[in-house]
């Protein structure tokens, strides 16, 4: 909006500006001019009053709605991970994102492109920093972005035999490293892998502990800080 100081402005021009006087986003010059006009315009003052009530009603309406942003965020990351499983990065990953391609490409391509190698390396570096004892594994991960594509899920057609007795878990994003370590330790589990880029940890019963996996799983599921916990399903052996 231009403010031509000194130029006569009409009543209509004043009416046009009223919504942005009400929401507090006029420039200082526009606000001063409009307030001078309103000082002499009863109709304008009534409009300001009416628009203030409209704005309040619209904003009050909003207070009745509850959203779940964390759940939506997890959904987005699940989509990214699912996309990566379908289209492993080493099988022709679309890296054109870094060259500034059209953002209106289909969503699948975007999700593929959303995980260039440098993101994996950044994720790995941050995890090493929190000292979870996974530095060796994560360095390997940083050098091998393909690995996530081989990540197992319950729906995966095949699982690796050495995953028997393990648990896959996702913790609340607000859980600190210290809390996470305490949860795992108190459940007599140990972290054997993760987190994946979507925050999935792979846990196993601590060596020497005679603890059924089902018990550990139950404890995890009772903990409100654990968003998700499931056993890693053993591979189907098929017919003999």
Assign residue 208 a region: left if phi > 0, alpha if psi is -120 to 50, beta otherwise?
left
CA–CA gap between residue 164 and residue 210 (Å, rounded): 15
To the nearest whole angstrom, how small is the minimum distance from the Cβ of residue 86 to another protein?
Answer: 16
The DSSP call for residue 206 is P
Of residues 103 and 207, the one with the C-beta less far from another protein: 103
Of residues 58 and 136, the one with the C-beta less far from another protein: 58
153 to 192: interface string for another protein, x by CB under 8 A: --------------------x-------------------
Q: Pick one of 29, 91, 119, 214: the residue that binds another protein (CB under 8 A).
A: 119
Of residues 18 and 191, the one with the C-beta less far from another protein: 18
Q: Pick one of 5, 98, 158, 239: the residue that binds another protein (CB under 8 A).
A: 98
Place of tokens 């052996």: 237
Length of the chain: 240
To the nearest whole angstrom, how small is the minimum distance from the Cβ of residue 148 to another protein?
Answer: 13
Q: Is 87 exposed, middle or buried (0-12, 13-18, 19+ CB in 10 A)?
A: middle
Q: Pick one of 7, 58, 136, 155: the residue that binds another protein (CB under 8 A).
A: 58
Output the CA–CA distances (angstroms, integers) from residue 44 to 15, 26, 31, 37, in the order listed: 7, 16, 14, 8
To the nearest whole angstrom, how small is the minimum distance from the Cβ of residue 69 to another protein?
Answer: 4
Q: Pick one of 4, 7, 8, 22: the residue that binds another protein (CB under 8 A).
A: 22
Closest by Cα among 110, 137, 238 to 196: 137
CA–CA gap between residue 64 and residue 58 (Å, rounded): 11
Examine residue 7 and tell whether it contacts another protein (CB under 8 A): no
Output the CA–CA distances (angstroms, integers) from residue 210 to 25, 93, 120, 188, in the order listed: 65, 44, 36, 10
For another protein, the binding residues (CB under 8 A) are: 1, 11-12, 15-17, 19-28, 31, 35-36, 38-39, 43-51, 53-55, 57-62, 64-65, 67, 69-70, 72-73, 75-76, 79-80, 97-98, 100, 103-104, 107, 110-111, 113-114, 118-123, 126, 173, 197
């Amino acid at each position: 909006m231009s403010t031509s100081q000194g130029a006569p402005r009409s009543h209509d021009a004043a009416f046009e500006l009223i919504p942005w006087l009400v929401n507090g986003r006029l420039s200082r010059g526009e606000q001063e001019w409009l307030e001078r006009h309103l000082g002499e315009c009863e109709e304008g003052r009534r409009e300001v009053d009416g628009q203030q009530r409209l704005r309040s009603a619209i904003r009050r309406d909003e207070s009745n709605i509850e959203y779940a942003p964390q759940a939506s965020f997890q959904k987005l990351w699940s989509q990214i991970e699912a996309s990566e499983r379908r289209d492993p990065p080493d099988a022709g990953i679309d890296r054109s994102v870094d060259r500034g391609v059209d953002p209106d490409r289909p969503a699948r391509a975007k999700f593929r492109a959303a995980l260039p190698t440098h993101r994996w390396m950044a994720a790995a570096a941050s995890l090493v920093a929190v000292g979870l004892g996974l530095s060796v594994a994560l360095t390997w991960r940083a050098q091998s972005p393909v690995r996530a594509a081989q990540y197992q899920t319950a729906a995966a057609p095949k699982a690796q035999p050495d995953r028997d007795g393990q648990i896959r878990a996702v913790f609340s994003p607000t859980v600190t490293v210290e809390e996470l370590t305490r949860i795992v330790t108190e459940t007599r589990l140990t972290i054997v892998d993760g987190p994946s880029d979507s925050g999935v940890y792979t846990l196993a019963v601590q060596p020497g502990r005679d603890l059924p996996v089902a018990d550990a799983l139950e404890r995890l599921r009772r903990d409100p800080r654990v968003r998700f916990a499931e056993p890693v399903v053993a591979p189907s052996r098929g017919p003999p």
